[in-house]
Amino acid sequence: MGTVENQIFSSYERNPDLYDEIYKKHGEIKKVYKKLFELYGEHSIEDYVNLNTKAKSSFFNQGITFQVYGKKETQEKIFPFDLFPRIIAPDEWEVIEKGAIQRSKALNLFLWDIYHDKNIIKDGIVPLDLIISSDNYLDQMVGFDPPGGIYNHISGTDIIKHNDGKYYVLEDNIRCPSGVSYVISNRTALKRALFGVFNHYQTYSVTNYAENLLDILETTKPKGIDIPITVVLTPGMYNSAFYEHSYLAKTMGVELVEGRDLVVENDFVYMKTIKGLIKVDIIYRRVDDAFLDPLEFNPDSALGVPGLFAAYIKGNVTLANAPGTGVADDKAVYTYMPQIIKYYLDEEPILNNVHTYHCSRPDELKYVLEHINELVIKPVDEAGGYGISIGNRLTSEEIEIVKKQVSESPRKYVAQPIMSLSVHPTYIEESQSFEQRHVDLRTFTILGQNKDFVLKGGLTRVALKKGNLIVNSSQGGGSKDTWVLKN
Amino acid sequence: MFLEYTIVYKAENNYANWVKNAHWQFLIIPEQNETQKFISTDFKNSLNTKIEYSINGYGFKTIRLHPKIEFKQISFEASFRLIKKDVNPFDFNLDNHTENHYKKLIELEFQIEFERFLKKSNYTNLSDSQKRLFIFDKSLSIFDNLQNLNQWTFNYLFFNAEATDVNTKLSEIIAMQKGVCQDFTHLFCALARQNGIPSRYVSGYLHQGNGFFGDSQMHAWAEAYIPEIGWIGFDPTNNILVNSNHIKVSHGKDYSDCAPLKGILNTLGANKTKHSVQVLRQQQQ
């Protein structure tokens, strides 16, 4: 790099088999990262260590923490964050944004259809069993029209870049996707630490999320309401995403409530205040379906509001996302996304789906059995990563066992090519240097009546363990500020 | 011909400790349908708490109450007066379209329309061997098969109020061969569904004969859907078809959709609950 002695990248090891977000194949820095690389190159590793420590304590002092469930000594942890941002060029972002909106709209139409006429099933595109056997399919929602016709107000789409340089969707999260508050705190932290670098880039703001969320939620207000009152319903301070719930309520300028703060009278929902009861019209709920109303769902739920579901079914309150939305947030439904988009929108999918082989189809089963070492084999009915076999990590005996299982009950399995997530230089505290780490991107899409919004940024999650592909914060993942550049 | 009924539902709860924040929901109001018309409904509780009429997730009428004071004892009394049309259970065309009816059952449109009453549920789960307990004879009509299933269920289980409770699994009930009306109904529904017939759990009241007095409980029976005929009621506990002695409250996939009383309360210590139901038939009009 000419005269600049690039200390902080001097020991960066580049594995040529991985897709690096900042380097081109032959080692040249990509255009959008050039300036940033130069700017960071002016600092030594020691400067960087100091900045990183300051930024960390700022996170802790602001209370931007999360908890890991199931650990005896639960400790507030900060979400590890590093000061080297990820940059997404305008042309790439355009594809992501259009693709995310397309998927959200298609999923909304799909949900309307399966809770009404079920035409997609009648036309033989999606099997009936796939829908009705899902625990997230709510019989109570059949025939019900949610306010404004919207089910998935908020969608979190998990996207990766494969080593072919193309974006693929891994998952559509449409129950209570979380993480948006980290996007905003990452930006704030980076601005505090390295304000100067922002002068060299035209980056979209991410702080407009809350105002858009409130604005779009209000398009789905119950009928007959002029100026709706909105609240955020949280399971409480022990929930791992409590910081986010309180952040969103605060920035939307609405109340943050727990179930015990709400009461239902004559099928209307009220919040208890020191001035008496105030009627609530829209609830951005971060409580799962099963816990919403102990009189209708799980009777042991202490988080919910007795009578809330009746108020909802009578059309007196909006719940976002709508109950029962989770049926479309499912591994098996995911595999039908290209067909779902085509069926409702008559469009080709903008973002790729990871190709899925259904072992129930004889020709696909043949391919799977012959190529197990290149595939991930997943049972269709298990969640949380159970029963997954990754072909290239199996011994030849294990391959034979998997082959036997799959051929015995082919309906139970699907297979996908092994995806390789792109890598990004990431500051690693232990080695005090930059190393390649796998990253993904969670985008946030808000859908309303004739209005939608995609947050220009999103949460880049980083797998901090070397070679690890799992980016979840509960698994020791970190995050990066994500810049979407203006044209 | 019409019959007039008065139904009195009573419940009493006693708690060892003070109860602070309680919610109750009753699913006990008779349904308004073509055979049942209301005259009056009345609901009292010992705390004089304001009651609310609402609906459950499937649109059936509920009564809810939420006392704002602490208590150790609360009792409820509901009374309904209604007119019931005299029902002839055989009032449908029993023509022999048997083959067409069976064909209908396997059509996708039919399976989509009735999916809720065809799929298994928590209370109607059968093991693989239990699925073969009753297999339809396709040479007979669906109605005849259901009549046989009604009788088979009646003979298979022995009525015993102590053997089971709401948590007993169907597979255990089948093994014990003992149960109450809920268990008879779940077994009937499970086996009808296994044979491709949509069937639903019905909760309601049974008039146990003119002039019959005394305490009893709410009753349960089943409704099965026969193509081109409609929903037909079967009472496997009594091996009869549903008639003018059955007063329907609600239906669902199983007991969990129809529980007559749901209470949400935080209290430690023992509690005692008593329920009683009286069904009285007035002179015919």
pLDDT digits (tens, 9 = 90+) for B117-128: 999 999 999 999
Q: Which of B139, B143, B151 is nearest to B89 (CA)?
A: B143
Predicted model pTM: 0.92
**Which candidate in B117, B121, B251, B264 is best for mutational testing of the A interface (most A CBs within 10 A)?**
B264
Task: Judge whether residue B284 has pLDDT over 60.
Answer: no
Q: Which residues on B lie below 8 Å from A302 (Cβ)?
A: 266
Task: Judge whether residue B63 has pLDDT over 90.
Answer: yes
pLDDT given at position A359: 87
Of A118, A124, A313, the CB nearest to B57: A313
Q: Decide if B109 touches A, using CB distance below 8 A.
A: yes
pLDDT tens readout for residues B130-176: 999 999 999 999 999 999 999 999 999 999 888 888 889 999 999 99
Q: Decide if B281 touches A, using CB distance below 8 A.
A: no
Confidence band for B210, pLDDT divided at 50, 70 and 90: low
Q: Give me the mean pLDDT over the A4-19 stretch.
A: 75
**Which candidate in B49, B53, B54 is best for mutational testing of the A interface (most A CBs within 10 A)?**
B54
Task: Pick the more confident residue, B211 or A29.
Answer: A29
Task: Judge whether residue B211 has pLDDT over 50.
Answer: no
Task: Judge whether residue B215 has pLDDT over 60.
Answer: no
| CA–CA distance, A25 with B247 (Å, rounded to integer) | 77
Q: Which of B151, B119, B77, B93 is nearest to A129 (CA)?
A: B119
pLDDT given at position B95: 67
Q: Decide if B264 touches A, using CB distance below 8 A.
A: yes
Of A118, A265, A295, the CB nearest to B112: A118
Q: Which residues on A lie below 8 Å from B54 (Cβ)?
A: 266-267, 307, 310, 314
pLDDT tens readout for residues A248-299: 999 999 999 999 999 999 999 999 999 999 999 999 999 999 999 999 998 8
Task: Judge whether residue A361 has pLDDT over 50.
Answer: yes
Contact call for B116 and A139, based on CB within 8 A: yes
Confidence band for B280, pLDDT divided at 50, 70 and 90: confident
pLDDT given at position B216: 73
Contact call for A140 and B264, based on CB within 8 A: no
pLDDT given at position A70: 53
Of A124, A139, A310, the CB nearest to B54: A310
List Cβ neighbours of A82 (8 Å cut-off, separation of 6 or more).
A52, A426, A427, A462, A478, A480
pLDDT given at position A385: 56
Q: Which residues pair with A175 in a beta bridge?
A: none
How does the average pLDDT of chain A come out, rounded?
89
Query: Does the model's ipTM exceed the 0.90 cut?
Result: yes
Contact A50, A194 (CB under 8 A): no
pLDDT given at position A4: 41
How does the average pLDDT of chain B come out, rounded?
90
Contact call for A310 and B57, based on CB within 8 A: yes
Q: Give me the mean pLDDT over the B220-247 stretch.
A: 93
Q: Which residues on B lie below 8 Å from A121 (Cβ)?
A: 108, 112
Q: Which residue of chain A is at minimal alpha-carbon distance from B27? A: A295
Element (H, E) at B80: strand B71-85
Task: Judge whether residue A81 has pLDDT over 80.
Answer: no
Task: Judge whether residue A384 has pLDDT over 60.
Answer: no
List C-alpha distances in Å: B60 to A151, B78, B248, B252: 24, 17, 11, 10
List C-alpha distances in Å: A273 to A292, A305, A480, B114, B141: 21, 16, 39, 45, 63
pLDDT given at position A76: 60
Q: Give me the mean pLDDT over the A20-35 stretch.
A: 90
Contact A421, A462 (CB under 8 A): no
Task: Judge whether residue A473 has pLDDT over 80.
Answer: no
Domains of chain B: 2-85+260-284 (2.60.40.2250), 98-258 (3.10.620.30)
% of chain A at pLDDT higher than 70: 91
Q: Which residue of chain B is at minimal alpha-carbon distance from A323? A: B57
List Cβ neighbours of A110 (8 Å cut-off, separation of 6 or more).
A120, A328, A333, A340, A344
Burial string for A147-181 (b: 16+ CB within 10 Å, else e) reads bbbbbbbbbbbbbbbbeeeebbbbbbbbbbbbbbb
% of chain B at pLDDT higher than 70: 95
Q: Which of A409, A439, A407 is nearest to A423 (CA)?
A: A439
φ, ψ at A48 (rounded to 5°): -65, -40
